[in-house]
Amino acid sequence: MIPFFKTHASIGKSILRIDNVHELTKDFDEVYFIEDSMTGFPEAFRKFGDRLRFGLRFSMYNDDPNEESESKMIAFANGDAGAKELYNLYTQQSNIKISKPWDSTKNLQYVVPFYDSFLHKNLTTFSNCVVDLPSDVPFILEDNNLPFDCLIEDKILSYCNNHGNKCLPAKSIYYETKEDVLAFQTYKLICNRRIGRTYDLSNPGLDHFGSDEFCFESWKTYSDTTLNSVT
């Protein structure tokens, strides 16, 4: 199971700092980030160097830009050329609605996220997201004890079985321990305040966050249990 870290560089999405991730992953050969912006890339590169595997989570749309079809995709940079393409992809978002990024890049590895992908959006909303996905783009599989996780997993497994794409078991990590979930939800509430609506910890109104599983502790428990069962 691959740990995918998100940090404060994705504003409102994580309470981890890049320094926190550095402390947690001293023994890792590779460290994977999935961020919603490129602002944390320079610091992450200084901290991790060749160990860094940096991914950008961005929006994709149908070929018809008038359709309500936004879903999420992830792109990882391969080398210096990939980093340049990732920056270009990031800046393009403000100018165009991206539909087939793999047609114009050569040094990016694309991955379909577990949450907010075209399959997830079509399953849980009235979206009609249509993605002409290459068969070499894998899907992330997660299990964070949310009630719809099994439904999303079924959709992914069915799609992969029919189209030949692979699956990557992974864990999205936004905080260190399960005890940090209240601090995380409080931070999310502060960053997601809306005029005319009142939320608190008893009714946070946060999609995907009714779980304390988005933490490094859960990933490590799974990793240690799997290792012990093998040995």
Q: Helix, strand, or coil here: 37?
A: coil
Strand partners of residue 2: 170
- Which pLDDT band, with edges at 50, 70 and 90, does 211 fall under? confident
What's the chain's Rg over C-alpha atoms? 18
Lowest mean pLDDT across 46-55, 90-99, 112-121, 138-147: 90-99
CA dihedral sign of residues 193, 171, 144, 122 = positive
pLDDT level of residue 133 (50, 70, 90 thresholds): very high
pLDDT in tens, 39-82: 999 999 999 999 999 999 999 999 876 677 899 999 999 999 99
- Going edge to edge, which strands form the sheet with 2-5? 108-111, 71-77, 52-60, 31-35, 2-5, 167-173, 139-141
Please check whether residue 131 is in contact with residue 60, taking contact to mean a CB–CB distance below 8 angstroms.
Answer: yes
Does this model's pTM top 0.85? My answer is: yes
Look at residues 26, 8, 25 and name the one whose alpha carbon lies nearest to residue 17: 8
